[in-house]
Amino acid sequence: MGLTIAGPDRFLASGHPEVGERLPPSLGLLRSSDGGQSWQPVSLLGRADLHVLRASGRHVYGYDAGSETLLASTDGGRTWSARRPSTALIDLALDPRNAEHLVAATPEGLLRSRDAGRTWRPAGPSGTGLLVWSDALYLVGSDGVVVRSRDGGRNWEGAGAFEGRPVAASGHGTELVVATEQGRVLHSVDRARTWRPRLD
């Protein structure tokens, strides 16, 4: 299942129907324009289960877990083209200034694309985790160590660390929020240098 913010009160999502609903097991891409109160199908009903979902303007990217294919759309998710990185995706981040510049976290490490996922190149550092692209590109490692790139994934530096195994991460500007496997929500206002609990 995937969820991403597409604008004020606008969300894109993918998932599965409730038990007993007469719908296919994969709901494809859904859209809400009222803050999640109601949802309308957009595309891929019964054909894709988008576990990683990212959007910027008319560009939408979704990773179909069933086929292990990254799908790309330039019309808000109505039509799609398949992109095939060389491995499965754990997470995906879009450059806030250029929606065709992507960085993917994979089991083998990071990959970078500058052409909307058509071609990919390795992007250090070694290791993998969750990605957040806000004021810089952050890699939140499974061990709680956070590294940062100020140049789109070419060079990396240590940013900070927290205790726990992350399961979700998000950011805006210099702020980062991480949810951990242990049920904690941690918040940083200083680019991952220090962390405070928001929910224990």
For residue 196, is it within any domain? no
Per-residue pLDDT of the chain (200 residues; tens, 9 = 90+): 899 999 899 999 999 988 888 888 999 999 999 999 999 999 999 999 999 999 999 999 999 998 999 999 999 999 999 997 768 899 999 999 999 999 999 998 999 999 999 999 998 777 789 999 999 999 999 999 999 999 999 999 999 999 999 999 999 999 999 999 999 999 999 999 999 999 76
Question: What pTM did the predictor assign?
Answer: 0.91
In this structure, is the dihedral angle defined by the CA atoms of residues 199, 156, 101 and 96, taken in order, positive or negative?
positive
Residue 117 Cα distances to 30, 113, 160, angstroms: 22, 5, 29
Asked if 101 contacts 120 with a C-beta cutoff of 8 angstroms, the reply is no
For residue 158, is it within any domain? no
pLDDT score of 87: 81
**52 sits in which H/E element:** strand 50-56
Pairwise CA distance, residues 34 & 11, whole Å: 8
pLDDT score of 39: 94
pLDDT score of 108: 87
- Three-point CA angle 83, 86, 88, nearest 5°: 85
- Beta strand segments in 96-184, E: 98-106, 109-113, 121-122, 129-133, 137-141, 145-149, 157-161, 166-172, 175-180
For residue 24, is it within any domain? yes
pLDDT score of 2: 92
pLDDT score of 179: 97
Q: Which residues pair with 137 in a beta bridge?
A: 133, 149
How many domains does the chain contain in total?
1
pLDDT score of 18: 86
For residue 163, is it within any domain? no
Asked if 12 contacts 60 with a C-beta cutoff of 8 angstroms, the reply is yes
pLDDT score of 55: 96
For residue 75, is it within any domain? yes
Q: What is the CATH number of the domain that holds 19?
A: 2.130.10.10
Domain residues for 37?
A: 2-153
